[in-house]
Amino acid sequence: MVDGGKERRWRRTRRDGSYASANDPRVIIGLGDDAGVQHLFVLWPDGRRESFTGLPADSYHRIEYGKGRPADD
């Protein structure tokens, strides 16, 4: 979940598919007029929850498992 300040947005990435097909692993989120992401919350496949903060708009960010802060439920 992304909290940009004005509204919250939910996205899900998919890594599955059929034979000889591929899905883009990126999750691209439009922020509208928001200057950046105040909080990004990630729920990983193993159930771990992490929070990432201070992500400016108009750029790509690599979000890596174990690099965020533990997020409360």
Question: How confident is the model at residue 5, as a pLDDT?
Answer: 59
1-59: pLDDT as tens digits:
555 556 676 667 766 666 777 777 788 777 778 788 888 888 898 999 999 998 898 88
Domain range annotation of the chain: 1-73
The total number of residues shown for the chain amounts to: 73
Nearest partner of 13 among 2, 28, 3, judged by Cα? 28
Question: How confident is the model at residue 51, as a pLDDT?
Answer: 93
State both tokens at 34.
Answer: 């928001």
Q: Per-residue confidence at 64, pLDDT binned at 50, 70, 90?
A: very high
